[in-house]
């Protein structure tokens, strides 16, 4: 901590009679701090309790995905995409598989598309559940809501483990389909999890609507207007909380999302409360999609039999493929020069771009609000720093 | 006889109340959090609270990739912990750089700068593996003698408890490793590349 | 939405700009628009404010390094062979690359259109590597341009706060360039071969006083 002695401030007390002179305080929040978002650092300049300036510092988890990918084959990069946003590994895989399929013009069979939707929406459920648990923990309910959220998350992780062999780093998608088919009894297990989820959501939604502390701490805090959101490139729940009606599942219609009947919730004010409530509503919509997908899952192959796996060399060119990940628009920009390794592997990180307005959201707020605002942005450092 | 039971009591007290530092870096941190949750409860082994401040913690579970930008911070936190202190290196990245070994910003293992007690392989290791490592650390503490040349670091005033913090250089960290704790492991390289019988 | 149409709109409204459509060889069909550096800012302003549809969302900003590469292409040339004019294959060597490139993916949220891919190239990879910053137009480019500066060395004129994003201050290289050499960080490999073997052999005498 250091005190900037040449930036002194004159404070006028309530009745305008006295001048209290003060100094601005500069503190460094992070890279190791208790609100468990990872190694993220913010240099905050405070005037008493209010934020005057906030500069984020990145790079503490910069693991060089892009450089490593240039020396790996296309398929060899797939496990690295798991570790980008390490909480939602399956949607990362999907975005990368979509980008390569756009680059090389590969088609995906129907059963694989349904499996992708099922696992993708399950990923969205466990991500939002974890996020709500962390947000409540950041607000001071130390531990208990997180326990409930993780209890639900463990149920989904059990499903992933039965399907792919790993709880977190699933490595499930391949170019042209999925890696493995459902084991016996998986679909019934998934149905049970999906049917039991609304009870957990009801608990949390009632907390939101009736708990005074929560409502006082989140309403009117960290407001982002619609125009600001579009200009700053916000995407996903962050943008929709500000009223931007843009959900890639409805706009790009990638995969088979056209066949499902679901709504896109939108916020009005764009504060932390809206973002929280939006994620709870999105979980409900995901449950609807899951029910429809599990009901309509067809039989068939999960990989196109004609797909070339060995010696995969797409033609020279480039492609940008993007999906609606749980955090926002996750895109991969790939340039191929005809060799088995990508020439340029660029990840469009939703978490980093959603942080563009962090300073604007926190100006004038109290120090305690910074933690809540950061929690509502939903960042994962693996994606911010890559 | 009193001395041995005193030693047992002392070791029992220390191993049953290891309080970890709230220090998660990357993906392994999520598995560490899952280990402390209701399903794989780590609190039953004594890790009741995760302390946010290093001054109040005894155990640092380095969970996740240590990058070169983060390395000075890790070493500083380790130096701030009071003795006795232990380090568990969780996950392939903290052991040796893991899948990101080729990266220019990745430190190839936290044991280059601080001494590590238990290594957990895996990417990420399951919560049960973390519990197993915790129990292994408890067994290690149990086997420590309070007197004699094998006594642990905090009872031996000659052994250092603070280590050199690396600085940011123009191209790499300075120094690249702490030679007192880590030296490059021997590789049986005489066999490879030459047509000679192996020697080691 | 046709890229040709967008190109003609821009040419009509931003006088003096030089645009080129770069075709895309892959089946994705995403062709891009190369803009000259002097008019980059004006073209981007027009795309955000005046174009139809308005491109209000800048999704992705990437830097790319194209080092100088020798390319040999076969060309049919008419030559006199034994007194008869014939078509002969001749190999022509040329150079491509030698610049840094920055690529912007633009979308229109209100009209649900996109992407329009805008490219700008620097003059070379050493000193003359300035391009205009589009952060005043699209705020989402702020961190991504800082990253392109950090990892590639592209200098963005007009960026409000151009400093390193991911590497530490005082780091002197631009690591994502193709000619970046990693620092020699000895890593243990149980089955060392090729480059790793050579580096292990170089370290071993230093560690043990020669063997």
Q: What is the pLDDT of residues B181-195, one digit of tens each?
A: 777 666 555 555 555
When the pLDDT of each residue in chain B is averaged and rounded to a whole number, the result is: 83
* Average pLDDT, integer, range C134-151: 92
Among residues A342, A327, A318, A343, which one has the least CA distance to residue A383? A327
When the pLDDT of each residue in chain A is averaged and rounded to a whole number, the result is: 87
* pLDDT value at A17 more than 60: no
Judge whether A246 and A233 are in contact, CB under 8 Å: no
* pLDDT value at C16 more than 90: no
**Out of A136-145, A171-180, A269-278, least confident range:** A136-145
Residue C98 — pLDDT band, cuts 50, 70, 90?
confident
* Average pLDDT, integer, range A337-351: 91
Indicate the helix (H) or strand (E) that contains C203.
Answer: helix C194-208
Question: Which of A231, A246, A318 minimises the CB distance to C26?
Answer: A318
Residue C209 — pLDDT band, cuts 50, 70, 90?
very low
Residue B2 — pLDDT band, cuts 50, 70, 90?
low
Residues of C in contact with A232 (CB under 8 A): 139-140
Judge whether B18 and B47 are in contact, CB under 8 Å: yes
Place of tokens 């959201």: A361
Measured between alpha carbons, how far is A83 from A171 in angstroms, rounded to an integer?
A: 10
**Out of A114-118, C23-27, C148-152, least confident range:** C23-27
φ, ψ at B34 (rounded to 5°): -65, -30
* pLDDT value at A241 more than 50: yes
* Average pLDDT, integer, range A345-372: 91
pTM recorded for the entire structure: 0.90
Query: Which residue of chain B comes nearest to A39, CA vs CA?
Result: B25
Residues 137-176 of A with CB under 8 A from C: none
Measured between alpha carbons, how far is C174 from C152 in angstroms, rounded to an integer?
A: 5
Measured between alpha carbons, how far is A349 from B136 in angstroms, rounded to an integer?
A: 39
Q: Which residues pair with C116 in a beta bridge?
A: C106
Place of tokens 């404070």: A11
* pLDDT value at C47 more than 50: yes
Q: In this complex, is the C-beta atom of A59 within 8 Å of any C-beta atom belonging to chain B?
A: yes
Q: Which residues pair with B88 in a beta bridge?
A: B61, B118
Place of tokens 């088979």: A256
Q: Residue B108, Cα to own-chain centre: how many angstroms?
A: 14
**ipTM for the assembly:** 0.87
| pLDDT tens string A302-321 | 888 777 777 788 888 999 99
C133 vs chain A: nearest CA distance in angstroms?
Answer: 15
Contact A33 B52 (CB under 8 A): yes
Residue A6 — pLDDT band, cuts 50, 70, 90?
very low
| pLDDT tens string B96-111 | 888 888 888 898 888 8
What length is written for chain B? Answer: 200
Place of tokens 């409805």: A250
A385 vs chain C: nearest CA distance in angstroms?
Answer: 7
Residue C205 — pLDDT band, cuts 50, 70, 90?
low
Residues of B in contact with C188 (CB under 8 A): 96, 184-185, 187
Residue A367 has a pLDDT of 87
HEC readout, C48-84: HHCCCCCCCEEEEEEEEEECCEEEEEEEEEEEEECCE
B95 vs chain C: nearest CA distance in angstroms?
Answer: 11
* pLDDT value at A59 more than 70: yes
Residue A144 has a pLDDT of 83
Tokens of B26: 């990357």
* Average pLDDT, integer, range B24-29: 88
Strands C19-22 and C32-35: antiparallel
Radius of gyration of chain C (CA): 23
**Phi and psi based region of residue C208 (left: phi greater than 0; alpha: psi -120 to 50; beta: remaining):** alpha
Contact A66 C64 (CB under 8 A): no
**Out of A150-159, A175-184, B130-139, B149-158, least confident range:** B149-158
Judge whether C130 and C157 are in contact, CB under 8 Å: yes
Helix (H, G, I), strand (E, B) or coil at A363: coil
Residue B37 has a pLDDT of 87
HEC readout, C88-120: EEEEEEEEECCEEEEEEEEEECCCCEEEEEEEE
Contact A63 B65 (CB under 8 A): yes
Residue B188 has a pLDDT of 55
| Class of residue A130 by CB neighbours under 10 A (exposed 0-12, middle 13-18, buried 19+) | buried
Judge whether A238 and A274 are in contact, CB under 8 Å: no
Indicate the helix (H) or strand (E) that contains B104.
Answer: none
Give the residue from A86, A153, A379 with the most B CB atoms within 10 Å of its CB, the best one to mutate.
Answer: A86
Which stretches does DSSP call E strand in chain A? Answer: 2-12, 19-29, 41-47, 50-57, 173-174, 177-178, 317-324, 329-336, 344-348
Helices (H), chain A: 65-69, 78-82, 89-104, 110-138, 144-164, 186-210, 212-218, 226-231, 237-241, 248-251, 272-296, 350-354, 358-362, 367-377, 381-385
Residues 48-67 of A with CB under 8 A from C: 58-59, 62, 64, 66-67
Residue A13 has a pLDDT of 47
Judge whether A312 and A125 are in contact, CB under 8 Å: no
Residue C30 has a pLDDT of 85
Among residues C105, C157, C59, which one has the least CA distance to residue A356? C59
| Class of residue B130 by CB neighbours under 10 A (exposed 0-12, middle 13-18, buried 19+) | buried
Q: Residue A328, Cα to own-chain centre: how many angstroms?
A: 6
* Average pLDDT, integer, range A224-244: 91
Q: What percentage of chain C reaches a pLDDT higher than 90?
A: 21
| pLDDT tens string C50-69 | 888 889 999 999 999 998 88
């Amino acid at each position: 901590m250091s005190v900037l002695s040449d930036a002194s401030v004159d404070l006028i007390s309530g009745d305008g009679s006295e001048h209290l002179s003060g100094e601005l305080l500069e503190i460094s929040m992070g890279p190791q701090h208790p609100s468990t978002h990872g190694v993220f650092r913010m240099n905050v300049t405070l005037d008493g309790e209010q934020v005057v300036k906030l500069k984020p510092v990145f790079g503490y988890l910069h693991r060089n995905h892009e450089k490593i990918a240039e020396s790996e084959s296309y398929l060899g990069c797939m496990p690295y995409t798991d570790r980008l946003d390490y909480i939602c590994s399956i949607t990362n895989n999907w975005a990368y598989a979509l980008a390569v399929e756009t680059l090389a013009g590969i088609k995906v069979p129907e059963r694989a598309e349904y499996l992708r939707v099922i696992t993708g929406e399950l990923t969205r459920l466990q991500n939002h559940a974890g996020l709500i648990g962390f947000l409540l923990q950041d607000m001071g309910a130390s531990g208990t809501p997180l326990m409930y959220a993780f209890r639900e998350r463990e149920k989904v992780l059990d499903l992933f483990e039965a399907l792919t062999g790993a709880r977190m780093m699933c490595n499930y998608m391949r170019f042209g389909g999925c890696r493995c088919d459902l084991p016996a009894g998986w679909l019934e297990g998934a149905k049970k999890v999906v049917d039991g989820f609304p009870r957990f959501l009801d608990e949390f939604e009632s907390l939101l609507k009736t708990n005074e502390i929560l409502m006082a701490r989140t309403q009117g805090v960290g407001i982002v207007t619609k125009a600001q959101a579009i200009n700053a490139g916000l995407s996903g729940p962050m943008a929709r909380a500000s009223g931007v009606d843009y959900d890639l599942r409805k706009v790009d219609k990638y995969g088979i999302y056209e066949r499902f009947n679901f709504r896109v919730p939108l916020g009005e004010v764009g504060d932390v409360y809206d973002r929280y409530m939006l994620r709870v509503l999105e979980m409900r919509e995901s449950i609807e999609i899951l029910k429809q997908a599990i009901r309509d899952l067809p039989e068939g192959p999960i990989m196109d039999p004609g797909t070339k796996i060995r010696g995969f060399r797409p033609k020279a060119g480039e492609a940008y493929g993007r999906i609606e990940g749980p955090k926002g628009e996750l895109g991969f920009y790939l340039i191929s020069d005809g060799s088995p390794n990508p020439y340029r592997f660029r990840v469009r990180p939703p978490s980093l771009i959603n942080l563009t307005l962090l300073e604007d959201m926190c100006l004038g707020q109290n120090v305690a609000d910074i933690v809540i605002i950061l929690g509502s942005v939903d960042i994962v450092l693996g994606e911010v720093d890559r | 006889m009193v001395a041995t039971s005193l030693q047992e009591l002392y070791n029992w007290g220390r191993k049953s109340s290891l309080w970890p530092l709230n220090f998660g870096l990357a993906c392994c941190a999520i598995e560490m959090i899952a280990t402390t949750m209701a399903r794989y409860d780590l609190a039953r082994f004594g890790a009741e609270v995760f302390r946010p401040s290093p001054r109040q913690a005894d155990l640092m579970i380095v969970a996740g990739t240590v990058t070169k930008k983060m390395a000075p911070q890790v070493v500083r936190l380790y130096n701030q912990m009071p003795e006795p202190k232990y380090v568990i290196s969780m996950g392939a990245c903290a052991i040796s750089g893991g899948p990101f070994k080729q990266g220019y910003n990745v430190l190839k293992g936290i044991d280059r700068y601080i001494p590590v007690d238990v290594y957990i392989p895996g990417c990420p290791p399951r919560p049960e593996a973390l519990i197993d490592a915790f129990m292994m650390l408890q067994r290690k503490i149990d086997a420590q003698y309070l007197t004699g040349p094998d006594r642990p670091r905090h009872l031996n005033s000659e052994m250092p408890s603070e280590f050199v913090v690396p600085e940011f250089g123009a191209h790499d960290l300075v120094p690249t490793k702490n030679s007192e704790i880590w030296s490059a492991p021997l590789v049986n390289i005489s066999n490879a590349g030459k047509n000679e019988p192996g020697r080691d | 939405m046709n890229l040709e149409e967008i190109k003609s709109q821009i040419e009509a409204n931003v006088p003096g700009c030089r645009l080129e459509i770069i075709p895309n060889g892959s089946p994705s069909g995403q062709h891009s628009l190369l803009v000259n550096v002097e008019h980059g800012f004006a073209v981007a302003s027009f795309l955000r404010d005046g174009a139809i549809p308005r491109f209000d969302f800048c999704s992705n900003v990437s830097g790319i390094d194209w080092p100088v590469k020798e390319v040999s292409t076969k060309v049919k040339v008419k030559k006199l062979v034994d007194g008869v004019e014939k078509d002969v294959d001749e190999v022509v060597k040329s150079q491509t690359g030698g610049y840094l490139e920055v690529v912007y993916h633009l979308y229109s949220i209100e009209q649900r259109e996109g992407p329009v891919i805008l490219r700008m190239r620097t003059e070379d990879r050493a000193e003359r590597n300035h391009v205009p910053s589009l952060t005043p137009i699209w705020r989402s480019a702020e961190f991504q341009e800082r990253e392109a500066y950090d990892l590639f060395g592209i200098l963005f004129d007009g960026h409000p706060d151009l400093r390193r994003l991911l590497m530490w201050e005082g780091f002197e290289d631009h690591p994502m360039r193709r000619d970046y050499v990693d620092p020699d960080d000895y890593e243990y490999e149980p089955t060392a071969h090729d480059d790793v073997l050579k580096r292990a052999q170089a370290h071993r005498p230093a560690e043990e006083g020669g063997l």
